[in-house]
């Protein structure tokens, strides 16, 4: 998870300012939630909001304060284990599926933890630091804030999953904006050739976006917009979930075993399909993009539509030379690319190096960003990744051919 | 779950008074808990405190108000499903393992629900009722209150299990009294003969305590007290969990698969064994009774000690003619009796009849009562029952031979 | 598994003769089977026929030859582990679910193993033995032969299960006789009182039939015959498998999870129900007893019929004083008695003592015997036992009330 | 599974000749096996040898005889379901995990099935056919024979797995040759550039090898030989299975959950490591290539060795321009390429089209061929593929950097 941007020592003040803004945004995201909402965990893949608030704080305490703060003493001894996510290098972890059992420490205690670490971080960043230390510190702060922004999106998707399990279908925020409608159907063509993908430098990126390198792509077309709810409803109406020939073999087994019949948050009502969203349950907007579909569903729909999913190289190349509507800010777009290291990829040494490389198997890359991605956390080179049956993220479909 | 006592119509006022007392006790039990504590569920067998508070209310709304209240309208339409435990006759149920996902309705809304039903019950019980109606109503109220008392014990055991999963080992109530020490070892003998067991009438009982009937018991001895922590620690020290000959075959498989090495809430510390309790983590009291053991462990210990568990007829006969120390108020005592209908047992018709009969398989009877059993909920004929691997209840061991 | 009969030393010749007869019967049972049939295992609860043939031989080699044969050397070193069933006292065991992977040793090698042990046993029994040794040896031989007879019944039920998994529905033996039809419906009454059950001595019994002891039974009636296929088909036609009120709670969960809709070997064909049997697939005989039902199904049927299952004391008392049709030789009859030690029960010391006591939990007693029980292995005091979902044995239903 | 070679009608005679040779080889492979060996299935991923013999026959009966044979009648009606592997387009399938329960049909009956289909195929291929029909028929025969060759390799790997489960470690064939030793360590370099991979035409290939297309590869080096047993033993000795930093996250979970400590067929003996092979148990040859490792193990070893796995483009490019030792005939070599369609890939229509495309998810490509791959089934463009935890195939490791 080493970031690679060059941070002049003078930027330490900027880091401190950014720190305050990003940290405050996490708290704001949890504001509509009750203490109960913050503590519950509705599946092992999701985490309680309280856990996100604590774990992002743990990151600063463990990877920055522990190293740079004079006379460091942890806020609470047990938190080192409790709020470690998956860093084997740091030591033991609390079992992931049991995060919802941690009603203690309380939400208030976690708020105190955040305030304490924030104050210590502010002191540290205001201190008189040697230039080399300041530079490294600024880099680590930037990394920690990007890490926190990832958890901001997860916090929202995890809360949405939790609220979806209550038959009351409570809204997270009734005023939460719906995604924009897709444009009229259309395709944009791109020529074959050797293209460059990966981060160019000049700004932050994660290690998995490096190194920039060449790939050969054949000529291809990308859909100008995302597949809509109306498109997907037609797939369902045509028996899409009952016809094995549309599905990957493993996808078909998943559909059968889990009795999947529609996107995760679609609810069949007397008046037709509804969808659950951060704004609560609402009628399905036919022109809005379909959300919360798995890689299996995305592939099956593409097969049904006589198309395919783009590769990540195709997507990034297009995003660079001729961006299309809905590439960012609506839904993460499944690509057909298995998540793998770029040629010449090197993970960072130490615990921080566990971040990306070890997940590079049996996951697929998603590109773009979603309506839940924080501002300042969006790049054409960004590589999101999830297993093939994941649906609780804001995932959608852009076709290629 | 039909109760069988005769309730003269004049007792309706007593029922109303008792109603207020028992209902208030449930609220008092939840008072030390935060909203987060009340909402979490740490295993499928346990339920959130909030769920207990709502379900016991649902019982009165569904089985009494719905039938007797003029112009009945439910407090909330969805609660009929949400807070049904296992009554198939009432209709659908929310999945048991997902009770912890119900952060909505909130704790406050459940408090409102309790207040609303309490007020409506008070109005109903104060109304001018025909004698037959009043009599039936008083019976149902009595049943509902005994049902609530069962859930009061479960609320405490479920909360204890939840708190045990936090590495902070938070106390439910630091002043919660420890169980009394066991008496010096000793045996009391009883003669062989035909004995009568089961409820005699004259007061409330559950249907599974009826009918009173005869059984033949051979001569036997019961231990005067419960097996102590020191006794049980000796079993562990002697390799009790490593020696298959002490264990039932199924118990041995359970020990191996679950890596069981000590009672549920024992914690090995630097200074020796500790135990987690409602008062928090404390040093193990050697003379106090061992708690939180399964039927498998109780049998293995008995085998190790050259004794056996009593049958429920032996236990009840002794409790009737010559009660021994610690029979009540400390720990439920495993018996070797599989939970089965008494000769001539008849379940009540309708949904209430689902209460006891349908669980009469693959469970074992526990007798007595525990430190968590509410006053007024204790009888020598009471038949508690749990599966053989259950440990989160306040269960202990009394030997027989 | 200590047997309790008194065997005068003069009976050693009788033991030798009996040995030859019983051992030959096992081989005869496997005669209709191909090598492939003998090696396969269709579920963990069942064992390959070849395994039964070897394990029963292992019993004599391990518990008799190893102890009494001068200069004992095992037929094959690996067999001690391979053909141990569940005797922890003997040492390691081959994983039960993997018995079907043992294509080596071959069937022929197992036949050689039988021949070798038979010859050595014959030599041992013909030797000049001290009276005390002869007496103990005769007892152990008797025990080993009863053990083998148990496996003879299992061999047949296991093979039937295997053959049932082939869509060709091959017959084990086309001439295998169908069970006799049930008599006309009727009840026989018995008076209340203290009765004695358990083995009286004078002949072989297993340790679980001892000691003979007193029980009090209320007045009861037993059905004169077994529940028929026509009776059971009426239960199905009446929606028996869809109505939870007939079922124990655990039984209802089993029906739902496993999608149980009829007895194990019933097959719905164009012309109505058929049943698979040792004679192959045949039309369901309406007057023949229903076979291959679980305890759950037996209880649900009894509930549907307004009756109940008998206790084992009721069954044995009736069998002793006024035997009814179909008590023996047709189907094992589920009782409502959980399998538990008789008052005063003592398991034998050593590995042989593992036989019965350690299974006394979460199983139910079946009484009588079935069409697959070998002659000479039938007693009114015999206690068979299986878990509540067992169906591949020849199990049936006799009602009580 | 459409093959793409051009088969002039005159080649029908060649097809017939090839048919006889390939079909006879399957029978020869099963010759060392007993009937028991042929019927057993030691895990769901493997199939009984008898099933392979029948399924490959089913392929010719279903996809050729049913379409081309005048007056077609199936050999046995039930075989259409019994011996269908995964072709949803053909209809129902027998459950994969229950293939070992099919002791009937017997091995002899399957031999009769093979003889019958072979005779009918011979008649068909000798008939007077229209040129277009002859051409299509020759193509389908070629496809069917390549399909059968795939099953020949599986037959051997499946039998090896079965025999490995017997503690007797029986040899499949004591004279079976061990793999050749690896050459001295070394690397061969290749330049960066656009390369072409995929089948060129002119001979048979599977649909997944098409279309031939361009890829850009950076400069790389390939190891001249395969990782040896000595290399891999050093990894184990260095604690490779205990150090999470070598492992992909999912691989580490697999190692922990399954307690993996060495390659599948390594056995620790008194004198050091041994390995089970078709020739039986033998001492581990230090210079021989390590076999039977998963993708997870291959990646972990590469990480340990400071190298990586090659991509399939790197491997194929090298194999085309400068073949290295042990590329073919020893062990399938894991690549880092997720199994995915080539740009422009199109699956064939109909049931035969199910062959490859639907497996293109969560599997990794292996290149080369193994000591069990039949002659005539080896190509530089061949794409084998298995899930990341697969070990029972003859899989090995070639490093890249």
Q: How far apart are CA D138 and CA D129, in angstroms?
A: 11
- Rounded CA separation C302/C292 (Å): 15
Whether residue B7 has pLDDT greater than 80: no
Answer whether C358 sits within 8 Å of B248, measured CB to CB.
yes
Structure tokens that stand for B12 in this block: 């309706």
Å from D96 to nearest chain C CA? Answer: 13
DSSP 3-state of B187: strand
Q: What is the pLDDT of residue A4?
A: 41
C281 shares a domain with C379: yes
- Distance (Å, whole) CA C278 – CA C173: 6
Residues A182-188: what's their mean pLDDT? 97
Contacts of C174 in chain D (CB under 8 A): none
| Beta carbons within 10 angstroms of residue A140's beta carbon | 21
Whether B155 and B63 share a structural domain? yes
Task: Give the DSSP letter of residue B96.
Answer: G
Whether residues B24 and B127 fall in one domain = yes
pTM of the model as a whole:
0.94
Nearest CA in chain A to B101: A42
Strand partners, B197: B213
Q: Which residue of C has its CA nearest to D81?
A: C167
Say if residue A388's pLDDT is above 50.
yes
Chain A touched by B42 (CB under 8 Å):
yes
* Residue in A closest to B100 by C-alpha: A40
Q: Outline where DSSP puts E strands in C198-313.
A: 213-217, 220-223, 266-269, 272-277, 280-283
Mean pLDDT of all residues in chain D?
94
Together in a domain, C347 and C296: yes
Pairing mode, strands A272-277 and A266-269: antiparallel
- pLDDT digits 0-9 by tens, D143-172: 999 999 999 999 999 999 999 999 999 999
**CA-closest candidate to residue B367, choices B398, B322, B321:** B398
Based on the domain organization, do C157 and C209 belong to the same domain? Answer: no
Helices first, then strands: H and E counts in chain B: 11, 11
Counts of helices then strands in chain C (DSSP H, E):
11, 11
What digits encode the pLDDT tens for the residues D191-206?
999 999 999 998 999 9
* pLDDT > 50? residue D370: yes
Provide the shortest C-alpha distance from residue B324 to chain A (in Å): 39
- The answer, for B306 touching chain A at a CB cutoff of 8 Å, is no
pLDDT at residue A8 above 60?
no
pLDDT at C6 over 70: no
- Residue A205 has what pLDDT? 93
- The 10s digit of each residue's pLDDT in A104-133 is 999 999 999 999 999 999 999 999 999 999
Of D164, D196, D212, which residue sits at a domain end?
D164
Which candidate in A102, A103, A106, A172 is best for mutational testing of the B interface (most B CBs within 10 A)?
Answer: A103
Predicted confidence (pLDDT) at residue C4 exceeds the cutoff of 50: no
Whether chain D has a CB inside 8 Å of the CB on C30: the answer is no
Q: Does residue B3 have a pLDDT over 60?
A: no
- Number of DSSP helices (H) and strands (E) in chain A, helices first: 11, 11
Neighboring chain C residues of D82 at a CB cutoff of 8 Å = 167
Examine the domain organization and report whether A198 and A139 are in the same domain. no
Residue found under tokens 């019949």: A261
Task: Say how far apart CA D241 and CA D253 lie, in whole Å.
Answer: 11
Q: Which residue does chain B place closest to C244, by CA atoms?
A: B88
CB A55 within 8 A of CB A151: yes
| Interval B101-153: pLDDT, tens | 999 999 999 999 999 999 999 999 999 999 999 999 999 999 999 999 999 99
C176 lies in some domain? no
Interchain proximity B106–A166, CB inside 8 Å: no
Q: Any CB–CB contact under 8 A between D44 and chain A?
A: no
Report yes or no on D374 lying in a domain: yes
Rg (CA), chain A: 22
Same domain, C310 and C239: yes
- Please state, in angstroms and rounded to a whole number, the distance separating the CA atoms of residues D171 and D254: 29
Q: Note whether residue B169 is domain-resident.
A: no
- Token pair 């009340």 is found at B38
CATH number of the domain at A293, please.
3.90.1580.10
By percentage, how much of chain B surpasses pLDDT 70?
96
Is D98 in CB contact (< 8 Å) with chain C? yes
Residues C193 and C155 in one domain: no
Is D2 among the domain residues?
A: no
In a domain, B3, yes or no: no
Mean pLDDT (chain B) is 94
What is the distance in angstroms between the Cα of C11 and the nearest Cα belonging to chain B?
33
Are residue D135 and residue D29 in the same domain, yes or no? Answer: yes
Domain final residue pick, D101, D130, D164: D164
A295 close to A388: Cβ distance less than 8 angstroms: yes
Question: How far is residue B165's CA from residue B161's CA, in Å, rounded to a whole number?
Answer: 7
Same domain, C109 and C213: no
Range 62-91 of A in CB contact (< 8 A) with B? 78, 81-82
pLDDT at A269: 86
Buried b (16+ CB within 10 A) or exposed e, C235-274: bbeeebbeebbbbbbbbbebbeeeebebbbbbeeeeeebb
Helices (H), B69-126: 79-82, 107-126
- Residue B249: helix, strand or coil by DSSP? helix
Q: What is the DSSP string of C103-122?
A: --S-HHHHHHHHHHHHHHHH
The tally of domains found in chain B comes to 2
- The answer to whether A68 touches A128, Cβ cutoff 8 Å, is no
Cα angle D330, D333, D335; round to 5 = 170
The answer to whether position B240 is within a domain reads yes
Write out pLDDT tens, residues A224-273.
Answer: 999 999 999 999 999 999 999 999 999 999 999 999 999 999 999 888 99
> Same structural domain for residues B42 and B152?
yes
Closest in B252, B296, B343 to C218, CB measured: B343
Q: Average pLDDT for residues D6-33, to the nearest whole number?
A: 88
If you search the block for the tokens 């259309």, which residue do you land on?
A186
Q: How far is the C-alpha of B369 from the C-alpha of B146, rounded, in Å?
A: 14
Listed residue (B95, B68, B62, B113) closest to B352, CA to CA: B62
Q: Which stretch of DSSP H or E encloses residue D197?
A: strand D193-197
pLDDT higher than threshold 50 for residue D2: no
pLDDT of residue A351: 67
Given a cut of 80, whether residue A349 has pLDDT beyond it is no
Smallest CA–CA separation between D339 and chain A, in Å? 9
What is the mean pLDDT of the segment spanning B58-77?
96
- What's the whole-number mean pLDDT along residues A318-345? 97
Tokens of D166: 């017997």
Rounded to a whole number of angstroms, the distance from the CA of A262 to the nearest CA of chain B is 21
Give one DSSP letter per residue of A163-181, joined into a string: HHTSTT---S-TTPPPPPP
Determine the pLDDT at residue D90.
Answer: 78
Q: Touching check for A388 and chain D: CB below 8 Å?
A: yes
- Please tell me the predicted confidence (pLDDT) of residue B86: 76
**Cα separation of D22 and D146, whole Å?**
9
User: Is C342 within 8 Å of chain B by CB?
Assistant: no
CB burial of residue A258 (10 Å; 0-12, 13-18, 19+): exposed
Burial class of residue C131 (count of CB atoms within 10 Å of its CB; 0-12, 13-18, 19+)? exposed
Tell me the pLDDT of chain C averaged across its residues: 94
Q: Which of C86, C337, C388 sits opposite B249 (nearest CB)?
A: C86
Report yes or no for ipTM above 0.90: yes
User: Structural domain of residue B146, as residue ranges?
Assistant: 9-164
Interface partners of B (3+ CB pairs, < 8 Å)?
Answer: A, C
| Residues written for chain D | 401
Disruptive mutation site among B197, B216, B387, B388 for chain C (greatest number of C CBs within 10 Å): B216
DSSP secondary structure letter of residue B129: -
Which of the two residues, A149 and A11, has the higher pLDDT score?
Answer: A149
**Once rounded to an integer, what is the mean pLDDT over residues D324-346?**
96
- Where among D164, D196, D229 does a domain terminate? D164
- pLDDT score recorded for residue C355: 67
- The CA–CA distances, whole Å, from C126 to C123, C143, D123 equal 5, 18, 66
Task: Identify whether residues B141 and B240 lie together within a single domain.
Answer: no
Decide if D180 is inside a domain: no
Q: State whether B42 and A82 contact (CB < 8 Å).
A: no
Q: Answer whether residue C172 is part of any domain.
A: no
């Amino acid at each position: 998870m080493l970031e690679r941007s060059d941070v002049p020592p003078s930027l330490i003040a900027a880091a401190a300012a950014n720190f305050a803004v990003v940290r405050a945004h996490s708290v704001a995201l949890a504001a509509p939630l009750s203490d109960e909402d913050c503590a519950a965990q509705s599946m092992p893949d999701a985490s309680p909001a309280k856990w996100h608030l604590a774990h992002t704080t743990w990151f600063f305490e463990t990877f920055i304060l522990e190293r740079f703060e004079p006379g460091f003493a942890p806020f609470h001894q047990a938190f080192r284990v409790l709020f470690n996510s998956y860093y084997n290098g740091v030591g033991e972890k609390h079992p992931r599926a049991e995060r919802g059992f941690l009603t203690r420490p309380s939400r208030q205690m976690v708020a105190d933890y955040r305030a304490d670490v924030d104050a210590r971080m502010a002191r540290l960043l205001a201190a008189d630091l040697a230039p080399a230390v300041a530079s490294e510190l600024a880099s680590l702060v930037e990394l920690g804030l990007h890490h926190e922004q990832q958890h901001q999106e997860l916090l929202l998707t995890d809360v949405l999953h939790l609220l979806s399990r209550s038959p009351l279908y409570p809204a997270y925020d009734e005023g939460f904006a719906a995604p924009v409608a897709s444009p009229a159907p259309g395709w944009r063509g791109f020529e074959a050739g050797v293209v460059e993908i990966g981060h160019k430098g000049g700004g932050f990126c994660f290690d998995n976006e490096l190194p920039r390198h060449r790939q050969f792509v054949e000529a291809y077309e990308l859909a100008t917009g995302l597949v809509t709810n109306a498109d997907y409803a037609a797939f369902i109406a045509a028996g899409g979930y009952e016809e094995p020939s549309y599905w990957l073999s493993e996808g078909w087994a998943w559909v059968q075993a889990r009795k999947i019949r529609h996107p995760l948050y679609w609810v069949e009502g007397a008046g037709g399909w509804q969808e659950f969203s951060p704004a609560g349950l609402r009628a399905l907007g036919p022109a809005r993009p379909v959300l919360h579909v798995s890689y299996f569903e995305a592939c099956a729909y593409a097969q049904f539509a006589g198309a395919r999913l783009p590769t990540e190289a195709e997507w990034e190349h297009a995003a660079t030379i001729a961006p299309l509507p809905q590439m960012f800010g609506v839904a993460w777009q499944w690509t057909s690319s298995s998540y793998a290291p770029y040629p010449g990829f090197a993970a960072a040494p130490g615990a921080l190096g566990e971040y990306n490389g070890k997940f590079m198997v049996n996951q697929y890359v998603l590109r773009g960003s979603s309506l839940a991605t924080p501002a300042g956390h969006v790049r054409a080179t960004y590589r999101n990744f999830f297993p093939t049956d994941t649906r609780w993220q804001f995932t959608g479909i852009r076709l290629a051919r």
